[in-house]
Each structure stands twice: as structure tokens, then as C-alpha cells.
């Protein structure tokens, strides 16, 4: 479980997060939503120890990241897989080597075991047979899925998604949303999805945390988004091109998406 306690963070005179407290429950998918610049990605970076708060604490399985020595922090980070917004693939490497990279540097697997694990990860994201292709040869959706295959290579306990559908067309975005749900069930992981895409929220999340004006404005089950009379939350939700309770129909997961 990830537990955030009274977390505050600013950069110079800019206050980004103020006294944020909540938990990410084991096995759930929590979506963090809010306007651009509301601190969603900053909050996510605290969960994996990439940023230290000005005040407050971040506990992962009972251990405080804010007080952890480098060696302990390094071990804790192995429990996380992160899908960065741009994918962060190595352009000079082919797909196989991109996914193999964390296995070769952070595991004791033999070369044959690494190969088997890479193929397993490619299968989980429905990209069998593309290991020899460079990122430049892949579509935007395929690059996201390669990055996700790399994120799950070390069998993480937690997967963090930073704007996973950003820059993708609606059909490909829907494919990524389905994949998030599929991996959550298949791998029994805890997921945190940072997004402003309400369709992604409705498709993949169990609970939602809404950031507004540096604060945690609301947190609750996804089904309760439209039940609470809250003009601030309602305005954000209604700004989406999708209507609550009526996401577009799912599409089959295809390799080229």
C-alpha cells in the first residue's frame, strides 16, 4: 500500500501541493485527475521517490521514502514500473533491447531467461514478433506498449502511468485503457494513472483523486463522480468530450494500435 501523509511541495515561490493525504489501496487502480499544472505528475514522482516533499511523508509498504537511504530507496524503486508520458524508449536500441535493459541491469537472470521474459512481456501487451524493430518503426500506440512492456519486465508490485493516452487518437487511447485494466487483473498489481482524460478514468479506474488549487479536492469511487453535488468537480468532468457512464464502445486489442 502507498500512503501519502500531509504532503506539501513547492518550487521557489510556486506552491504545487498543499497538505495532501490519501492511500492507494493494494490491488486497486487509482486515477489522479486535475487540470494541467495541478500537480498530478509531481505527486506521482513523490510516490517513487523521484522528488522529496517540503513537508509530509510517503510510505510504501510501511517504509518512509523520505527518510530512506539510497540503497533502500533503490530496492523500493524495484517494486515500481513507470510508464512515462513520452515513453522514454532508447531510440538507438531495438524493441527487444529496450525491454531487456532493466532485466540486464537489475536482475540476475541468464541471457536465455532474459529472452524468455522479454517475449512474455511482449505477449502481455500483444506485440509478439516486433522485438527487432526500432522505436522509429513503430506507431505511437505501439511505442507506448513497448514502454509498458519494459515497465512490467521486473514484475513490479506497483505500476505508475503518467498521461498514458496523451497524444494518441481515440481508438488507440481506448486500446491503452483496455490494456491498463487487463494488466491490473492479469498481474494483480496496484496501479496509479495520472490523466486528464475522463474516458480513461471511466474505463480503467476503481477510485479517483481530484487535485484542485494545490489541494486534494475530492477522492472516491469512480461511480460516485456524478453523485456528489460539487460545482468544481462537475465543471472538470463536464469539460471532457465524454459523458459519465457512457464511454465509447471498446475495440479489439490489435497489434498496430
Q: Tell me: the pLDDT tens digits for 181-224? A: 988 988 999 999 999 888 889 889 999 999 999 999 999 999 98
- Asked whether residue 25 carries a pLDDT value surpassing 80, the answer given is yes
Asked if residues 208 and 33 have their Cβ atoms less than 8 Å apart, the reply is yes
Which is more confidently placed, 240 or 197? 197
| Calpha distance 63→67 (Å, rounded) | 9
Measuring CA to CA, which residue among 49, 159, 162, 142 is closest to residue 98? Answer: 142
Q: How confident is the model at residue 256 (pLDDT cuts 50, 70, 90)?
A: low
Question: What is the DSSP pairing of strand 63-64 with strand 55-60?
Answer: antiparallel
Least confident of 33-37, 44-48, 136-140, 238-242: 238-242
Give percent of the chain with pLDDT exceeding 90. Answer: 61
* Residue-level pLDDT at 197: 85
* Residue-level pLDDT at 240: 66
pTM score, two decimals?
0.88
The b-or-e profile of 153-190 (16+ CB within 10 A means b, else e) is: bbebbbbbbbbbbbebeeebbbbbbbbbbebbeebebb
230 exposed, middle or buried (CB, 10 Å; 0-12, 13-18, 19+)? middle
- Asked whether residue 94 carries a pLDDT value surpassing 60, the answer given is yes
Amino acid at each position: 500500500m502507498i500512503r501519502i501523509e500531509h504532503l506539501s511541495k513547492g518550487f521557489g515561490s510556486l506552491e504545487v501541493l498543499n497538505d495532501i493525504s490519501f492511500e492507494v489501496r493494494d490491488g486497486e487502480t487509482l486515477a489522479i485527475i486535475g487540470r494541467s499544472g495541478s500537480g498530478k505528475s509531481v505527486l506521482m514522482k513523490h510516490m517513487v521517490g523521484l522528488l522529496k516533499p517540503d513537508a509530509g511523508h510517503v510510505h510504501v509498504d510501511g517504509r518512509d521514502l523520505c527518510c530512506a537511504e539510497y540503497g533502500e530507496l533503490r530496492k523500493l524503486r524495484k517494486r515500481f514500473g513507470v510508464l512515462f508520458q513520452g515513453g522514454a524508449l532508447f531510440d538507438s536500441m531495438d524493441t527487444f533491447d529496450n525491454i531487456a535493459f532493466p532485466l540486464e541491469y537489475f536482475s540476475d537472470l541468464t541471457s536465455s531467461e532474459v529472452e524468455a521474459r522479454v517475449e512474455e512481456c511482449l505477449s502481455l501487451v500483444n506485440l509478439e514478433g516486433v522485438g527487432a524493430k526500432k522505436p522509429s518503426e513503430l506507431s505511437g500506440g505501439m511505442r507506448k506498449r513497448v514502454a509498458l512492456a519494459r515497465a512490467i519486465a521486473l514484475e513490479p508490485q506497483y505500476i505508475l502511468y503518467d498521461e498514458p493516452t496523451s497524444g494518441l487518437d481515440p481508438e488507440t487511447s481506448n486500446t491503452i485503457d483496455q490494456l491498463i485494466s487487463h494488466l491490473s487483473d492479469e498481474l494483480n498489481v496496484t496501479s496509479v494513472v495520472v490523466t486528464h482524460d475522463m474516458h480513461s478514468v471511466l474505463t480503467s479506474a476503481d477510485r479517483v483523486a481530484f487535485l484542485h488549487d494545490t489541494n486534494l479536492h475530492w477522492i472516491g469511487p469512480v461511480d460516485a463522480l456524478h453523485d456528489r453535488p460539487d460545482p468544481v468537480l462537475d465543471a472538470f468532468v463536464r469539460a471532457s468530450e465524454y459523458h459519465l457512464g457512457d464511454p465509447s464502445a471498446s475495440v479489439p486489442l490489435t497489434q498496430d494500435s
